[in-house]
Chain A
Amino acid sequence: MTGRDVTALMPFLALLGTAVLIMLVIAFRRDHRTTMLVAVAGLAVAVAFLPGAAAQAPRAVTELVTIDLYGLYYTGLVVLATLVVAGLSYPYLAMHDLYREEYYLLLVTACLGSSVLAVSTQFVSFFLGLEILSVSLYALTAYHRHSRASTEAGIKYLILAAVSSAFILFGMALIYAASGSLSFSGITPDNGILAAAGLMMVLAGLGFKLAVVPFHFWTPDVYEGAPAPVAAFIATVSKGAVFSLALRLFSPLSHPGSSLFMIVTGVAILSMFAGNLLALLQQNVKRILAYSSISHMGYLVITLLTAGELRWSASAFYLAAYFITSLGAFGVVTALSTPERDADRLEDYACLAWRRPWLAAVFTAMLLSLAGIPLTAGFIGKFSLAAAGVGSGLWLLVVILVINSALGLFYYLRIVGAVFARPAETRREPGTLPTTSGAVLACLFLALVWVGTWPGPLMALIERVVRGLP
């Protein structure tokens, strides 16, 4: 291993070092604030190492990972999102009676697992990354040890994730048996039935992580039971990293007309419709966000089927916008939560605009972004998805995307309507927003509007990242 290899690996080593450091800090001094600061500093250092690593890209470091710009882009996204989640979690954990410090350890390891997924180009690192991520998430989901809902969500996630891991592992074995290679590039369409079966199993396992139909059943329960910041993490970091890998793995294989193409089309259509239609029936805000995320993954899956450079750039942009939006929405849920329970009922948001105007403004902006309304990042994201779809002539999918965007408005506007309902009497509640949550939400809001009105810089970055990808 040369010095250049180490430079390329530095962001990942920084995450690893942070995890070890947090363990040591906890052993010597159990203090919530210190642990949080160590975690945040470690994540920030990892981000700081990204440009150095990018200078070495593309570079295959060992046989396990290939550090390329595409992987580093998603690594950056994942680490920044983890940073946001850590910021949101601090006041949330502070008001709960728990062992708070290990939370950050789990968060950092989950982030490490996700980053490994983003840079893996073969099955061993893929599986390692996935398991590091999943195991951390089991514990994070059930972090409210005394809450039945949280524990139930943890168990549910554990069992289903274990099954999906088994599927992926079996699929890998089949692919290896057929192609004799553990690298993604070793798979070709003419590997025969064994490899095709293996690919389907891997697809099923990834579908579970992405929560696309028909592998979505865990999502609403886990979102509802998990602590709100953990739900934010699952919605963004976990799905984003897995999607970046799915795109690498499947997009060279899904030619129009292939059976994989048909299956993914079906998955996209079902996810869009199921997510939006089921969200209409919900009364719980966390469950609404869960179903909404199912439909958003359905939109995103369309890029797996598109051709050319647009599939990489559209999905990269869409995920960045989706990260900002989802983190913001869950951030508001977190900020409104009380020690007794998370703010997940629609009543918690009634007349919010007149009680807590700033939080209401942020929440409304996030919901409008989820709905894809201009001035927000979500609009440009949906626009680039539609552009990718139209550019590849996927008319059926794009028209269904449009229909679903209209369907989605029903439930987003229902929440907005509740937020802006006219109260019997106007009384401002004292501003109890903790500084960290306030700062994080303000940053997310600014990012949302910045990307929504001036997407040029981000697009230029993405253009550089995806240049040279097939």
Chain B
Amino acid sequence: MLVLAWLIIIPLLGGLSAWISARWSDRWPRWISLTALAVDCVLLARIWTGVPEGLVPGAWIAEMNTPWIPQFGIGVHLALDGLSLVLVVLTLFLGILSILCSWTEIRERVGFFHLNVMAILAGIIGVFLALDLFLFYFFWELMLVPMYFLISIWGHENRGYASLKFFIFTQAGGLFMLLSILALYFIHGNRTGTYTFDYLHLLGTPLPPLAALWIMLGFLASFLVKLPAVPFHPWLPDAHTEAPTAGSVILAGLMLKTGAYGILRFVLPLFPEAAHVIAPAMLVLAVIGILYGAFLSFAQTDLKRLVAYTSVSHMGFVLLGIFAWNRTSLQGAVMQMLAHGVSTGALFVLAGLLQERLHTRDMDRMGGLWSLAPRLSGMALLFALASLGLPGFGNFVAEFLVLAGAFSADRVVTAFAAAGMVLAAVYSLWMVQRAFQGEARSALSLSDLSLRETGILAAMVIAILWLGLYPRPVFDTTRPVLNGLQYIIPSPRLDAQATPLPGFTGEERKREALP
């Protein structure tokens, strides 16, 4: 199934041709990028419609595997299952919207801008598809450099500092993951004699408990920085605030999801016992993130910074859902990843539109915008409501499921997490009040949404309502994967034997045991 490789190659080629085409006109890069992403959508739609009914856990919708660096047992192993599928859909959706929302915002070095955006998207798709740990790390790092350029070239006032901080935090986390990957590689290799980075081979490697814990912490160092969980979050407010709109949308909507995806795909299946041991701590960390993010967003006057802190709070729910570790909470976590991607993406688009018009993000200098730009303000209110978890929007479904699932895991933690939803109502409405309601300031002049901008936001409204009102397709698509995760019931005894995973690892290990 070479089509998976094309999903990554097409955006890259599109980005390169966009870069070259900027010599002739500033319009070309935009259209080329859109076309490339549209082609990707068509490819993906063809895969999605071909999904057979009743997938068993561990079965892949599409898979490809060719050797890359045979000396190290590294292969280009890409595979798509329900979880990757919905996340790649989200990537393409937000990718197209971030190209569209930069249409008038980016006027300098347009070609290079689109090269970077497309390279980030290719890297993110690669992360969602890679099943070789080396390849995964490769894509993981690959998306950092273009994002660094995106922030440091097209960012706002404090871009140099923000981009450096972003790069160093994520890179440092990533390097610890690399060490863990290598440790796993050698432990597996010494045991079986097959040195490979292939995920399916490494699954179910029996690890001594202490080694498993340390190796897992290396992975978590990387994923918790990306997610982000408090206290690994300091890069986030700066990076989100200083990035151009497309950068903020991709950061919040997609890059944070790679952290959650990493935990779901690698941490839980590879280290079930260790993850079980650390789950209570992670639940506490999640709740701290939810409350801390909510409190801090309340204190912000910078609109983008406020939205950035709400991300910390919302991603806390994802972490909570993952480590509450039952079917309901896992479904909720995945739903939250999608809903947060859309709703926060939309809030960043709106903040970008205001910045483009008013040249400020300071809410103290806004106020009364509703009378000047009713459509824009209406959209802002709608997404503020979505973000606070009003029923009807995807965020409500997600947070409800997470809390319902977490309740059976830990009641106290769930109670605190639920308090986070109250705080969400406070900061969301406070934001609407300060920026959009009240007396209009005579000094402000503001044009309402253009047709293109209305289109972007309308697409996002449809998406968030769809997630809220008819979430079944998402559940159906991701259920096989999540059921597979849920079956990894951690055994009470924490000895060297890992619990076999139904579906694939059992067979894998049997295959290796054969001479």
Contacts and interface: CB of A to CB of B under 8 A. Distances in A.
A391 B195 CA distance: 11
A373 B123 CA distance: 13
B176 A387 contact: no
B172 A375 contact: no
Interface stretch (A127-135, A175-183, A191-199, A399-407): A399-407
Contacts of B108: 422
A398 B179 contact: yes
DSSP majority for the B interface? Answer: helix
DSSP majority for the A interface? Answer: helix
Nearest to A405: B175
A455 B68 CA distance: 9
Given A374-B138, A374-B141, A406-B172, A456 B149 contact: no
Contact of A402 (B72, B153, B175): B175
Contacts of B172: 402-403, 406
Contacts of A93: none
A383 B152 CA distance: 27
Given A456-B70, A460-B71, A409 B178 contact: no
Contact of B71 (A386, A399, A459): A459
A64 interface: no
A3 to B, nearest CB: 35
Interface residues of A, number: 31
Interface in A404-421: 405-406, 409-410, 413-414, 417, 420
Interface string B121-156: 000000000000010011001101100110011000
A417 B160 CA distance: 7
A417 B69 contact: no
A368 interface: yes
A373 B145 contact: yes
Contacts of B168: 406, 409-410, 413
B171 interface: yes
B296 interface: no
Q: Chain B: interface residue count, which band?
A: 20 to 34
B407 to A, nearest CB: 39
B400 interface: no
Interface in B27-44: none
Contacts of B71: 456, 459-460, 463
Interface in B178-197: 178-179, 182-183, 185-186
A380 B74 CA distance: 12
A210 to B, nearest CB: 24
Contacts of A368: 145
B152 A420 contact: yes
Contacts of A417: 152, 160, 163-164
A380 B69 CA distance: 10
B179 A387 contact: no
B160 A409 contact: no
B144 A390 contact: no
Interface of A: 354, 368, 373-375, 379-380, 383-384, 386-387, 390-391, 398-399, 402-403, 405-406, 409-410, 413-414, 417, 420, 422, 455-456, 459-460, 463
Given A374-B138, A383-B178, A402-B178, 14 more contacts: A373-B145, A374-B142, A387-B185, A390-B186, A391-B186, A402-B179, A403-B172, A405-B171, A406-B171, A406-B175, A413-B164, A413-B167, A417-B164, A456-B69
